């Protein structure tokens, strides 16, 4: 099974007191853009969205489509806890394509580009590593040993970088200024 995993559990403290995932972009919550892109890839048999901070608010205000929200109760332990929670929910997947909930300009085409890529592959935007990333068995087992606010960066080191700047923007939203920049540029989404 090939699955999609959207990480959306962190507090996003640089954004402010409220969940950045619910900030509006083009009339929808920010997270909904990332969810729609993943759900637009028919080859992903399942799509899981890991929630944590403000999970109840996100559940109340979001439309998940075919995506399955799961709540990471220990999200405050850091990124590794969210990643493990999502992989646990996708038990049995042979390949997982990981994206971020605060990456609203990701496209279905960019995600689909990784369906045939090996574990350890990751997107690059003008040479800078980003998401999506591909996890297969070896990487998933390594994630199970991670702790704290650590993602899979070290696990992916040395894997192929796939240039994706022609498919979408790799911009993510960490601050209100990031969101304003994306709004000012206008959406360049092509699903």
pLDDT for 189: 42
Residues 6 or more apart in contact with residue 95 via CB below 8 angstroms = 1, 2, 3, 119, 134, 135, 136
Residue 190 placed within a domain: no
Omega before 132 within 30 of 0, i.e. cis? yes
Region for residue 142 given its phi and psi (left: phi exceeds 0; alpha: psi -120 to 50; beta: otherwise): alpha
CATH number, domain of 151, equals 3.90.550.10
Please say if the pLDDT value at position 191 is more than 60.
no
Region for residue 150 given its phi and psi (left: phi exceeds 0; alpha: psi -120 to 50; beta: otherwise): beta
Beta pairing partners, 38: none
pTM (2 d.p.)? 0.90
Residue 122 placed within a domain: yes
Residue 191 placed within a domain: no
pLDDT for 13: 65
Please say if the pLDDT value at position 184 is more than 70.
yes
Residue 25 placed within a domain: yes
Q: How many domains does the structure of the chain reveal?
A: 1
Half-sphere exposure of 87 toward its Cβ, with a 13 Å CA cutoff? Answer: 26
> ∠ CA 186-187-191 to the nearest 5 degrees?
165
State mean pLDDT over 96-122: 95
Range of the structural domain that residue 22 is part of:
2-185
Residue 24 placed within a domain: yes
Name, of 9-13, 74-78, 114-118, the range with top average pLDDT.
114-118
Residue 141 placed within a domain: yes
Residue 120 placed within a domain: yes
Q: Which of 79-83, 131-135, 153-157 has the lowest mean pLDDT?
A: 153-157
Residue 15 placed within a domain: yes
State mean pLDDT over 158-180: 88
């Amino acid at each position: 099974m090939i699955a999609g995993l959207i990480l959306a559990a962190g507090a996003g403290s640089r954004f402010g007191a409220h969940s950045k995932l619910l900030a509006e972009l083009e009339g929808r919550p920010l997270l909904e853009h990332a969810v729609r892109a993943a759900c637009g890839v028919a080859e992903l048999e399942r799509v899981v969205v890991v929630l944590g901070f403000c999970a109840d608010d996100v559940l109340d205000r979001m439309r998940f489509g075919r995506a399955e929200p799961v709540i990471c109760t220990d999200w405050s332990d850091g990124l590794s806890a969210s990643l493990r929670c999502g992989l646990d929910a996708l038990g049995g997947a042979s390949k997982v394509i990981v994206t971020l909930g605060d990456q609203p300009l990701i496209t279905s085409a960019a995600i689909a580009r990784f369906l045939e890529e090996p574990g350890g592959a990751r997107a690059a935007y003008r040479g800078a590593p980003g998401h999506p990333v591909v996890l297969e068995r070896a990487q998933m087992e390594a994630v199970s040993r991670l702790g704290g606010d650590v993602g899979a960066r070290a696990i992916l080191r040395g894997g192929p970088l796939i240039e994706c700047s022609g498919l979408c923007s790799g911009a993510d939203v960490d601050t209100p200024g990031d969101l304003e920049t994306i709004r000012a540029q206008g959406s360049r989404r092509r699903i």
